Amino acid sequence: MRHQWRIATAAIILLAGAGCASPAQDGQAVAQADRCINPTRIQKQEIISDQEIRFTLTGNEVWVNKLPRQCSGLKFQGGFTWEIRGMTVCSGEQIIYVQETGTPCQLGDFSRVAAATSAS
């Protein structure tokens, strides 16, 4: 099934290779829009809403993507698949597909945010 192929492809791509994006500068807590992320550095994806996804990258970098429109079912389904081309995913240039339904949605702007400190 095409959906399962997308999940497998995304998993392989995300696990392959080391990241090449530059680390965040110290003290940089304000969001920066119109940026790219390296998908091989993604450690965690969290669906915040039908219009917002939080990505945690290696090095504790946290990026939020604000989709230009509501992506029906994204939060309910709890995930998405994507076909990544190249070493970066940039603002407004990537299509994701809602898990199970396959609904296509375009990513919006990536913004870097301050990483939350974890209490261990």
Q: CA end-to-end span of the chain, whole Å? A: 41
Position 52 scores a pLDDT of: 97
Task: Look at residues 104, 82, 97 and name the one whose alpha carbon lies nearest to residue 8.
Answer: 82
The pTM of the whole model exceeds 0.75: no
**Ramachandran angles phi, psi of 73, nearest 5°:** 90, -5
Alpha carbon distance 63, 14 (integer Å)? 16
- Below-50 pLDDT ranges, the chain: 1-33, 120
Position 116 scores a pLDDT of: 60
Task: Look at residues 116, 88, 115 and name the one whose alpha carbon lies nearest to residue 107.
Answer: 88
**3 state SS of 93:** coil
Position 85 scores a pLDDT of: 82
Alpha carbon distance 30, 18 (integer Å)? 26
Q: What are residue 113's DSSP bridge partners?
A: 62
Position 102 scores a pLDDT of: 96
Helices (H) and strands (E) in the chain, counts: 2, 9
Which two three-digit tokens encode residue 106? 């375009």
Dihedral sign computed on CA atoms, order 100, 74, 67, 12: negative
Position 71 scores a pLDDT of: 96
